Amino acid sequence: MIRINLKFLGTLLLLALSLLDVKAKEWRGIVPLKTTKTAVERLLGKPNQLGRYDIGNERASILYSDGPCESTHQVLPKANCECLVAKATVLKIFVTLDSPVKVSKLGIDKNKYQRTAIYAYRPTATYSDFTEGVVYTIRESDDSITNIDYLPSAKDCEAVIKTQTPATPSNAWQGIVPLRSIRANVEQLLGPATSSHGDVYVYGTAENRVDISYTADPCKPGNTNPRGTSADIVLKVTVSPRKILLIQNLGLDKAKYKRIQDIHPENWVHYINSAEGITVDAVVNNDCEEVISIVYQPTPRDRELRCGRSQKIEAKKVLKLRRMRYAYERASQVPHTLKNLIRNTVKSVMS
């Protein structure tokens, strides 16, 4: 009798452990955004020929990261934790239950989850908790769970984003940053300009046309240089895609970009991120917003990168001196007394 009870208790214990494995946001000790492929294979071995693990009642497939996401406009999208983890890190786990498990056995309160009907497989719905990082697929005809997806929890995702320092400034394009990059940086990346018009130089890539404007002489009084910065520093970068690029594909962070629609023409819209110096111009075609250009400009903070106070004072002094010298040259044929007056004024400015 004792042996029978022990066997019965052992069976209950195994059942309880299996239920805990299913219910927890981690699957068999594997946690999205934390566990690596090496750790998975140390724990479970290599996957089978179908690329999955068949363990008891479960058939599991694991999605790994291919490494940090890369994009021509990588600074534009909203931060995505799945794009920030190292290569071969677990992103998601998809588990199919060969024999569906009753919801009641797992003690799941469906009222705490977001229900989404799957009309193609009625009566089936998903019950999601993205804070915890789990999605249950439930066959509602008999209230049974058929699939469980394990996703990054909101807490783990936030932790990854916080620990990642941006590799480049927010208003950088391919490493080119207004008021921080110089012409040599641009030409090292893109080669010499193919043409120019005014102070704008045109560069070309297979994917984009790139228009860049530069500053003129350093702190030169009376110049068109609006920043008083050194010569050949990038002022503005305008990137125009050669192929169709939709606003929705940029994944803009709506909290950062303000959408403004033109009155005329009314099919023009602009997404403006003043804090990060980025403007996205688009045209509306058949309810799709097609990107015309992406403009990278100095951030409000970077606009302070200009001549210092002492340089400004010196620049004003030089300007005044040049004006006086010009007046002196123009006065070469005026009476001697007036010429002396101008000469003395110039000397006082120079002293």
- 121 versus 299: the higher-pLDDT residue is 299
Identify the three-state secondary structure at position 169: coil
Q: Are 87 and 189 in contact (CB under 8 A)?
A: no
Which pLDDT score is estimated for 68? Answer: 77
When pLDDT is cut at 50, 70 and 90, the band that residue 12 belongs to is: very low
Q: Is the confidence at residue 193, as pLDDT, over 90?
A: yes
316-338 pLDDT tens trace:
555 565 556 555 555 555 555 55
Give the pLDDT of residue 186: 94
pTM recorded for the entire structure: 0.54
pLDDT tens-digit series, residues 13-63: 444 444 444 444 789 999 999 999 999 999 999 999 999 999 999 999 999
In this predicted structure, the answer to whether residue 101 has a pLDDT above a threshold of 80 is yes
The C-alpha atoms of residue 233 and residue 180 are separated, in whole angstroms, by 7
Structure tokens at 103: 């919801």
How far is the C-alpha of 128 from the C-alpha of 120, rounded, in Å?
Answer: 18
Which token pair is 310? Answer: 């002492």
Give the Å distances, CA to CA, from 287 to 240, 248, 255, 264, 267. 20, 12, 22, 17, 10
pLDDT band, residue 91 (cuts 50/70/90):
very high
3-class secondary-structure state, position 99:
strand
**349 to 35, 308, 343: CA distances (angstroms):** 71, 21, 10
Q: How many CB atoms lie within 10 A of CB 41?
A: 11
| Mean pLDDT across 235-253 | 90
Return d(Cα 79, Cα 277) in angstroms, integer. 17
Residue that wins the pLDDT comparison between 342 and 250: 250
Q: Find the helix or strand (DSSP H, E) in which 116 lies.
A: strand 114-118
Rounded average pLDDT over 275-295: 92
**What confidence tier does 209 reach under pLDDT thresholds 50, 70, 90?**
very high
Q: How many CB atoms lie within 10 A of CB 173?
A: 26
CA dist., res. 59 & res. 98, Å (int):
7
- The average confidence (pLDDT) of the chain is 80
- The pLDDT score that the predictor gives to residue 85 is 87
Q: What is the mean pLDDT of residues 291-311?
A: 76
Let me know: does 145 contact 134? Beta carbons within 8 Å: no
pLDDT at 136 over 60: yes
Whole-angstrom distance, CA of residue 136 vs CA of residue 151? 11
pLDDT attached to residue 65: 92
Question: Residue 280 pLDDT > 60, yes or no?
Answer: yes
Answer whether residue 10 shows pLDDT above 70.
no
The crossing angle, in degrees rounded to 10, of helices 309-330 and 336-350 is 170
Local confidence band at 199 (pLDDT 50, 70, 90 cut-offs): confident
pLDDT of residue 4: 46
Q: Are 176 and 233 in contact (CB under 8 A)?
A: no
